[in-house]
Amino acid sequence: MSQKPVLESAGLDGWIVRLFETIDEGNLPWLSALSKRCEQVFGDTLIDLVPSYTTLLVVFDPITLSSSEARAMICQILVDLEPDSGVQEGQVHELPTWYDISVGPDLPRVADHTGMAVTDVIEAHSQRTYRVFALGFAPGFAFKGLIDPRLECPRLDTPRKRVPAGSVALAGRQTAAYPTVTPGGWNLLGRTSARLFDRQREGFSLLRVGDQVRFVSVSRETFEREGGSSKPVELES
């Protein structure tokens, strides 16, 4: 790790451990190692761990542990922290994705912003293998990166009120697929038939931090045959 970790208070029951300042796939082994060590050291006093691209939020039970005690425990963990080599072996997922303007209405916007043809946008997005950096925003929503630098595009100025489940999107250098119907301001490129969130599945989410993901371009027929909904994204007034 090239920089000294920084601890930031997150209230009476949490600390944010900032390990890095920039997004990089090499951050994952360190964040994974920190998560595992926190689980071991905090034990029953641990309430939650929320990883991001560069930080880990450690939430603890403030009734049994004071903020200063939790900070001291984290500092001790950081003294001899070593990267987790196992995180590099995350499961590989191929998500069948139908790229089409009817379900990916922002394809022209991304093409215009990047100066690429729509077909080139689709090819660039689908030919890359992405790493899951974090889960958040909504159950099963996996933040993945990093996308081809040519595809970098800002979020929409006004988020949509309803983004259909399975929508594949990008924003900045990140990409994701919406697991359920939620509001959202990312650029929609298409839709996957994969079931990303399932209450009957252990852990609910198909994807885990450290997993690798590829969006495999398929035809509408294949998409629908595998259970995908081809209902167009509703236009908002």
Encode pLDDT of 121-142 as tens digits: 999 999 999 999 888 777 788 9
pLDDT at residue 237 greater than cutoff 60: no
How many Cβ atoms sit within 10 Å of the Cβ of residue 215? 26
Number of H helices, E strands in the chain: 5, 13
Domains observed in the chain? 6-88 (3.30.1360.40), 90-225 (2.40.100.10)
Higher pLDDT: 49 or 175? It is 175
22's tokens? 């920039």
Predicted confidence at residue 214, as pLDDT, reads 97
202's tokens? 């252990």
How many Cβ atoms sit within 10 Å of the Cβ of residue 108? 12
pLDDT band of residue 2 (cuts 50, 70, 90) is low
Closest listed residue to residue 46, CA positions, set 34, 29, 55, 54:
34
C-alpha angle 67-71-73 in degrees, rounded to nearest 5: 120
| Best mean pLDDT range from 27-31, 67-71, 139-143, 197-201 | 67-71
Encode pLDDT of 154-206 as tens digits: 999 999 999 999 999 999 989 999 999 999 999 999 999 999 998 887 768 89
pLDDT at residue 208 greater than cutoff 70: yes
Closest listed residue to residue 190, CA positions, set 73, 84, 91, 95:
95
In Å, how far are 31, 36, 83, 153 from 80, measured between CA atoms? 14, 13, 10, 39
